[in-house]
Amino acid sequence: MASASDFIRAIINDDLKRGKVSRIAVRFPPEPNGYLHIGHAKSSTLNFGLAAEYGGQCHLRFDDTNPATEDQKYVDAIKRDLRWLGFDWGENEFYASDYFEQLYDWACKLIQLGLAYVDDSSEETIRALRGTVTQPGSESPFRKRSPEESLALFAQMRAGAFDDGTRVLRAKIDMAHPNMKMRDPLMYRIRHAHHYRRGNTWCIYPFYDWAHGQSDAIEKITHSICTLEFMANRVLYDWYLDALGINPRPYQYEFARLNMDYTVTSKRKLLQLVRDGYVDSWSDPRMPTLAGLRRRGVTPNAIRTFCTCIGTTKVDSTYHPGQLEHAIRQDLNDKAKRVMCVLDPLPVTIMNWRDGLVEELEAPYWPHDIPREGTRPVPLSGELLIEQDDFAEEPPKGFRRLIPGGSVRLRHAYVIRCDRVEKDRAGRPVRLYCTVFKDSASTTAKNPTPKARSTIHWVDARRSIPVTVRLYDHLFNAAAPGEDFLSDLNADSLVVYEHARIEPSVLEDDPEERYQFTRLGYFWRDPEHAHEAVAAFNCIVSLRDSWSRTKVAKTVPEKPQPHIHIPDAPSVKPEARAWLARAGIPPAVGIPIYSTEGGPVFFAGASALVDRALVATWMANHLLPALNGRFLSDLPFTAVEFAQLVALVNTQHATTHEAREVLATMLKKGGNPETLLERLRASRVSDERTLVTLVEEVLTTYADRVQAYHRGKTGLAGFFVGQVMQKTRGKASPHQVQALVHAALTRLAK
C-alpha cells in the first residue's frame, strides 16, 4: 500500500483497509477533440501513477460522445503523447462510443422505472424552465408522459424519425433541486451526424453525465478521478448508478486542474492560437501541449517529476513555469553533454598565434562534478568567435567578462587578453585583437599569466559549423492572460539566432542528442527542421543565470496588508433565532444543537437537570462533533445520563478532561457516568513520583529541545506535556503534568 501523500491516496488506502474495494482500477478519459497539454500530463500522471503504485490498472478511455468535434487524428495524437510520457495501458483501450448499445438499454430501463422521459420541448423552453441558481425550475408538460409512450418515442428517436433538436431524453429527478445538474438533466439529444468511429449508425448521442459513470461501471472502475469543475456533477453521477442499481459501483473524486502562469490551457484558446497562426502548429515549442514540449526537447521524465512534485489537492492552484524548468534542468544536468556554441558571434584575432597552427584540444564532455567519462576534440586556431555579450567596452558594475585590457579564460583552453577593439561606424565592436598566454593551459597548476576574470565559451572561426538557434520565452506577457488573451501575446516569445556557430564535434552525434551549450542552456535539434541544410537547435530551457538576475531590477512583491475585518451581527435564520431565545443559549453553541436531528429534544431533556449553558457547551463542543454521522437517538445513553455527566463537571467532581474521557467511553458502550469516573480514576496515573519519573524521562530523551526551550522556544512546553501525556496514554491529569514539567524545566534552567 502506498503512503497517503495526498487526499486521493488517503481515500484509496481507507477503501482498501475497510474492504470497500479489493483492487484499484482508474481511468484517463480524454475527449478526442484536441491535443493533450501539460494539464493532461498532471491528470494522466496521477491516474497511471495510482495504477502502478497499487498494482491496479489504468484504462485509456476516449470519451467520444460528441460527433461534431471528435476525430481519429486526435485519438492518434493522444495515444502517441501518452506513450511518449511513458504510460502503458496494455489492452485497456476503450471508447465510450462502444458502449452506445448498453447505454441505450439502460436508458430504456430508466424509462420503464419511471425515472426518465422523452421531452418534446424546444431548447429554449427547456432552458427557461430550468430556473436559475437561486430560483427553482418548473416541470416540463411532457414530464407526466407514460413510460410506454416515452419508450416508443425513444425508439423512434433512435430510428431517425425526428429532426435534430426536436426531442430529448431526460432523467426525471427534481426541478427544484438546489443543484442545477439535478433538474431533470438531459440524457440524449438527436444528432444526425457522422461519428468518426460509429459512422451513421446512431443519430442519438448520450451526454457526458449519462455516458461517463456508466462507462466507468462497465469497465469496473473503482475510483473515477476528475477535475474540480465536475464536483456538481457527482450527485448526478451517483444518482444514475444508484437508479440502475449497479453494485459494486465506481465513485467519483475531484482534484484541482493544473493552471500555469504565462500560458493558457483551454482547448478553445489553444485552437485559436494554431488556427489563426499565432504559433506554427500544435507542436510549436512554445505551446503547452505535450507535442510542443516534446518538440522543444523537454523530457518525459522531467514532466512526470514536475507533475508528481506539485501534488494533488482540491485547492485551485496556479504554478509558476520556473517549477517545470527546475525539473527539466534537474533531469538534464547529468544527461546532457556540454558543448560550445556561440549564438551571436564576435570575431577575435589572436595576434601572437603562429600562422597556420591549429590545435586539437581534448575537451571533456562533463564538468568535474559529474562522474561521467568522455572527451571530444575541439579545434583552436588564431581566428575565434566569442559571444557579443561576453565583451563590453564599458562594463556595467559586476561585469566579469572580457573588457579592453582585461583577460578571460577560453573554456578548455588558454587565457587571452583584449588589446584592441575594432569598431564599425556606429561604434559597435566588430573584431577584437587579443594576446594568448599559452603557458595558461588548463592543466597548469599555478600560472604566471594575467588573472582571468572568468571563463567564456568560444568556437573556432573556420572550423565551427553554422547553425540557427531558437530561443523561447513565455507565450504571454501576462501571468494570467484574460479573455482577450491575444492582446497579452509576448512578441519576443521566439528569438532566432541565424548566424550561430557550433563546435564541429556535434556532427558525430545522434540527432536526438540533448546538450548543454556551456553557459547558455539545454538544447537539441528541432526535429521538424531535421532535414534542412543548416541544423536548427531549440533551447529546451536556459541555465539559471544569476548574472541576468542581478541586471533585472527586482520587483519586490508588496506585502499584502493583513485583512482586518469587523464582523457584522451574525445572521441566523428566524426560526433558529426563536429557538435560541426560548432555550436561552447563545448562537455559538445553540446553532449546532438546533441543526442536529433530535438536538433540541435531547437538549431539553438534559437541561432540565443541570445548568443549561453548560449542557449546551458540552453538547456543541464535545458530544455533537463526536457523533460522526450517528443519531442522538441511537446513542447508548440517554439525555439524563448525559446530564449526570455534565453535573459532575458542574459540581467540580470531575475535571473537564476526565469528563471528556468518560464521554468517550459512554459513546462507545454507554454506562453510568459516576461509575465510569470511578473506574477512570482507579486506572489513573496520579502518583506524583511516577509522573516525575516520566517527566525526567521525557526531558532526558529530548535534551536538545530542553536547551532550545531555555533559549526561548517556549512553545516546546506543550510538546513536553504532550509527550508525558502520551506515555501515560492519557491517564494523567494534564494540569498536574503541566505543573511538574514546568517545575522540572525551571530546575534545569539553574
Partner RNA sequence: UGCCCUGUAGCUCAAUUGGCAGAGCGCCUGGCUCUGGACCAGGAGGUUCCAGGUUCGACUCCUGGCGGGGCAACCA
Site for RNA in 168-187 (CB under 7 A): 168, 178-181, 186
Q: Of these residues, 80, 109, 181, 267, which one is catalytic? A: 267
Span of 204-212, 282-290, 342-350, 639-647 interacting with RNA by CB under 7 A: 204-212
Contact with RNA (CB under 7 A): which of 2, 231, 465, 480?
Answer: 231
C-alpha distances in angstroms, 721 versus 688, 696, 711, 718, 730?
A: 15, 12, 18, 5, 11
CB of 532 to RNA, least distance (A): 27
CA 660, 664, 665: angle at the middle one, nearest 5? 120
The answer to the question of residue 269 lying near RNA (CB under 7 A) is no
Q: Is 11 in the site for RNA (CB under 7 A)?
A: no
Binding to RNA in span 663-702, by CB under 7 A? none
In whole angstroms, how close is the CB of 396 to RNA at the nearest point? Answer: 8
3-state secondary structure of 526: coil
469 forms part of the interface with RNA (CB under 7 A): no
Residue 562 DSSP SS3: coil
Handedness of CA 665, 671, 677, 678 (dihedral sign): negative
Active site residue 31: yes
Residue 221 as a binder of RNA (CB under 7 A): the answer is: no
Cβ of residue 693: shortest distance to RNA, in angstroms? 18
Given CA atoms 743, 745, 749, 750 in this order, what sign does their dihedral have?
positive
Residue 584, interface with RNA (CB under 7 A)? no
Taking CB under 7 A as the criterion, the residue among 45, 121, 224, 464 binding RNA is 121
Restricting to residues 410-429, name those near RNA by CB under 7 A: 411-413
Burial class (CB in 10 A: 0-12, 13-18, 19+), 349: middle
Bridge partners (DSSP) of residue 72 are none
Which residues fall within 8 angstroms of residue 638, CB to CB, at 6 or more apart? 605
Q: What is the DSSP code string of 263-302?
A: ----HHHHHHHHHTTSSSSTT-TTSSBHHHHHHHT--HHH
* C-alpha closest to that of 394 among 423, 433, 434: 423
Has 267 been annotated as catalytic? yes
Binding to RNA (CB under 7 A): which residues in 281-340? 309-320, 322-323, 326, 329-330, 333, 338
- The cell for 136 is 427553482
User: Which of the residues 109, 130, 198, 257 is marked catalytic?
Assistant: 257
Pick from 545, 597, 687, 688: which binds RNA (CB under 7 A)?
A: 545
Q: Shortest approach of RNA to residue 474 CB, angstroms?
A: 15
Q: Which of 160, 248, 511, 625 binds RNA (CB under 7 A)?
A: 625
Name which of 38, 544, 467, 539 is nearest 295 in CA terms.
Answer: 539
Q: Using CB under 7 A, pick the residue from 132, 651, 683, 700 that binds RNA.
A: 132
Contact segment (CB under 7 A) with RNA among 102-110, 245-253, 484-492, 568-576 equals 568-576
Using rule CB under 7 A, residue 627 touches RNA: no
Q: How far is the CB of 528 from RNA (least distance, A)?
A: 27
Binding span for RNA by CB under 7 A among 103-111, 350-358, 655-663, 667-675: 655-663
Q: Provide the CA 190 distance to its chain's centre, in angstroms.
A: 38
Does residue 190 touch RNA according to CB under 7 A?
yes
Asked if 518 interacts with RNA (CB under 7 A), we say: yes
Q: Can residue 587 be called a binding residue for RNA (CB under 7 A)?
A: yes
Q: Torsions phi, psi of 444, nearest 5? A: -60, 120
Task: Report how far apart, in Å, the C-alpha atoms of 162 and of each of 115, 159, 198, 204, 443 are.
Answer: 22, 8, 19, 10, 86
Three-state secondary structure call for residue 497: strand
Q: Which of residues 716-745 bind RNA (CB under 7 A)?
A: 716, 718-719, 721-723, 725-726, 734-735, 738
Q: Does the active-site annotation cover 551?
A: no
In whole angstroms, give the CA distance from residue 435 to residue 328: 39
Amino acid identity at 54: Y
**Contacting RNA (CB under 7 A), which of 2, 572, 609, 748?**
572
- Of positions 592, 600, 605, 671, contacts RNA by CB under 7 A: 592
Q: In which element (H, E) is residue 435 found?
A: strand 429-437
Kindly write out the interface string for residues 140-159 of this chain, putting x where it contacts RNA by CB under 7 A and - elsewhere: --------------------
Q: Which residues are catalytic?
A: 31, 257, 267
